[in-house]
Chain A
Amino acid sequence: MAWPALIAFTIFGIVPLFGVVALSFTSWNGISEQISLTGLDSWKTVLSDPGLPHALWVTFLIMALSWLAQTPLSILIGVFIAAHKRYRALLAVLFFIPLLLSQAAIAITYKMLLDPNFGLGAGLGFEFLQQNWLGEENLALGVVVFVVSWQWIPFHSLIYQGGVRQIPASMYEAAEIDGAGRVRQFFSITLPQLKYTIITSSTLMVVGSLTFFDLIWVLTAGGPSDATRALAVDMYQTGFKAALMGPASAIAVILVLVGLGLALLLRRLGGRDATASQLEGA
């Protein structure tokens, strides 16, 4: 019964992937009919370009910082909204709104709010908000991480909410009989039980952060200078702005490899018993 999905995945996922691998051994400007094989030239160009390690570093920073910002908050919020109370359900719905907005819309909105001359800071007269948010290299990266987290924390909270609700109530009852307090219950039951949820959510965060493009593009266009030029932005600029489809394809292949590697690594972290039941003794 999996064949329709398989066919779609082959056509839209696998075939283009091979196309990109093939293109990375050519030089093509995107419009001419002639695509000439140039062997490893594109790869040499990309690997010797100081822009690549920089883009990898920026990508890594965004990935690590947004993971650090999102995971603790998502777990706490997930636990909070997992409880069956009406006001929490309402909060959960409100909280969910950022996820419904398109990344481009979010980026445009934040760009306007953070404008040093016409934005929130200038409008409300708050000095500390009147920073050159998107014009200074460190601040701009921070803003990207903040906006990414703002958008995705609701999604990950939802995953954690589901995870928390899977934990049998009997475990908490037993803990209560043993005299464990709220905090103790959280660290001894909730967190260990959420192990696989954390791995799932982290995989989504880490691999997802490799592909952040639209948000960064609209917010900073990779700038100031190249402070937020992550791998996906670098790929777009190389391919579609500089009309170098060969090197851009090589960057795309690197992006795929990094993503695959990270996903495998995170699976490994789950340990060999990743598929075993967690509910023994429940």
Chain B
Amino acid sequence: MKRRNFLSLSAGAAAATGLAACGKSGPSDSSGGGGTAGADAASYWFLSGPPGEPIRQGAVDRFNKANPDNQVKVTTFQNDAYKDKLKTALGAGQAPTIIWGWGGGGLKSYVEAGQVDDLTDWFGQNAAVKDRLFKSSFGPATIDGKIYAMPAETVQPIVMLYNKEAFEKVGVQNPPQTWAEVMDLVPKFNAKGIAPFSLAGQSRWTNMMWLEFLFDRIGGPEVFGNVFNGQKDAWNNPASIESLTKIQELIKANGFIKGFASIAADTNADQALLYRGKAAMMLHGSWSYGIIQAEGGNFIKDGKLGYFNFPAVDGGKGDPSNTVGNAGQYLSIYSKASDKQKETAKKFFQSLLDDTEQEGWIKTGGVPIVQGSNAKLASSPDKDFLNFIYDVASKAKNFGQSWDQALSPTAAETLLDNIAKLFQLSISPQKFADNMNQVIGK
């Protein structure tokens, strides 16, 4: 199990969820309720397992019932199996009509291979479909100014979570507002035997989130933007070197839990360290809330969980309201599908995120990417956290995409590899920049 599972498990996902998802590896077919899926039905592949699967299936069932002439046929896959199967199917010319995905660099590789349709004109003709969604959600769907995917489901920004009890133990009331305060807090927590930050370093993308924020806070979104746009030696930007230096300073000051390099995110040990009070804070995706809720006993109920946006860095150029993470999930249309299938897919897109689906996502602790969906949050028992996430997502001046998803798979792998070395302190910030400059634009 890797990260994508967690993306699919937004809040409300239990350990049992993970296990259930693991136990079911093969594809399972189930045609939508009531409809008879014929040969011209649009096929739709997505991830199995709660909380996402029943909500996605429900949306298909409602669509099939309302549109007897346009049927959507579902096949579900466990996360890792899905990625392999989809790649093979695309290579073999047998992909589904509707391709569920994460947008960004992965989508870009489909676009370059001519595998998915350009939806820009369709969105132009159906402004209502486009305008009701978060603007930020279109970022990862847009490649070279054209839209290749329909944003869907929920927004998952990366936020800072903290254990209020741990803060009481060191006599600190409020979470740190600036990087200087963060560095001040580190020795205080260490003195009490509490790790300042929990981190599942083996997974590498967990470390990456720190860099994403530091780059943004120190140099603004342009710093990574230049890398993304293939500018030569973009990693040599002073803001980039400063960010890389700052993270190594934090590591050297024992800012992260001992042994973080051996902790993998898929065991949820990083969340456990936070709710068991072994670590005071954790930078993680909003989906962590659901994991803590499911596994952390009464931690949330007792009001011990706090949350805040990543602190500002003194003198930094980036707006402290900026955030990074997953702006949504993405549905693309396979370019080799039949016209009838494509028509069905587009009709299906129009039906997405109706009230029932939005309520479904909210119940699982997710914030749907629909403007004004916060009006529906009030009735949720998790409304405080959900409103916080809604605010972070909707007020962000810039919603950065996860680097590994924004870059091509080749550059992303080099990035993660070098991030692991950077956090292991086996390479210097300059060496990191040199290594990364070599894969710019690849």
Contact = CB atoms under 8 A, between A and B. Distances in A.
Interface string B84-124: 10010011010000000000000001101111000000000
A32 B112 contact: yes
B420 A29 contact: no
Interface in A88-142: 111-112, 114-118, 132-137, 140
Interface string A211-238: 0000000001101111000000000011
A240 to B, nearest CB: 8
Contacts of A159: none
Give the top 7 A-B pairs by smallest Cβ distance, nearest first: A135-B262, A134-B262, A135-B261, A32-B113, A116-B259, A242-B413, A243-B409
Contacts of A225: 420-421, 424, 426
A33 interface: yes
Name A's interface SS. Answer: loop
B259 A117 contact: yes
A133 B202 CA distance: 12
Contacts of A238: 413
Contacts, number: 103
B35 interface: no
17 contacts: A31-B91, A32-B113, A33-B113, A111-B264, A114-B262, A115-B267, A132-B259, A135-B261, A136-B261, A137-B424, A140-B262, A221-B264, A223-B261, A224-B420, A225-B424, A226-B417, A244-B410
Given A31-B87, A225-B421, A226-B420, A115 B262 contact: yes
B394 interface: no
B260 A135 contact: yes
Interface centre among A30, A117, A225 (most CB of B within 10 A): A117
A117 B408 contact: no
A224 B91 contact: no
Contact of B258 (A132, A220, A224): A132
A241 interface: yes
Interface of B: 84, 87, 90-91, 93, 109-110, 112-115, 201-204, 257-264, 267, 269, 272-273, 278, 408-410, 412-414, 417, 420-421, 424, 426
Nearest to B198: A117
Interface centre among A132, A140, A238 (most CB of B within 10 A): A132
B201 A135 contact: yes
B100 to A, nearest CB: 16
Interface string A27-47: 001111110000000000000
Nearest to B113: A32
Contact of A111 (B203, B267, B278, B426): B267
A226 B421 contact: yes
Interface string A180-211: 00000000000000000000000000000000
Contacts of B260: 135
Contacts of A115: 259, 262-263, 267, 269
Given A111-B267, A224-B424, 5 more contacts: A33-B91, A115-B269, A133-B262, A135-B259, A135-B260
A116 B109 contact: no
Name B's interface SS. Answer: helix
Contact of B113 (A29, A111, A132, A224): A29
A117 B273 contact: yes
Given A112-B267, A117-B257, A223-B420, A132 B109 contact: no
Contacts of B87: 30-31
A221 B202 contact: yes
B409 A242 contact: yes
B47 to A, nearest CB: 18
Interface string A234-260: 000110111110000000000000000
A116 B267 CA distance: 13
A133 B264 CA distance: 13
A243 B261 CA distance: 25
A220 B87 CA distance: 25
A220 B202 contact: yes
Contacts of A240: 84
A137 B421 CA distance: 11
Contacts of B413: 237-238, 241-243
A140 B259 CA distance: 12
A116 B110 contact: no
A34 B109 CA distance: 13
Nearest to A244: B410
B177 to A, nearest CB: 28
Contact of A132 (B114, B115, B261): B261
Interface string A49-61: 0000000000000
A243 B421 contact: no
Contact of A117 (B91, B201, B269, B409): B269
B269 A118 contact: yes
B156 to A, nearest CB: 22
Contacts of B84: 240
A157 to B, nearest CB: 30
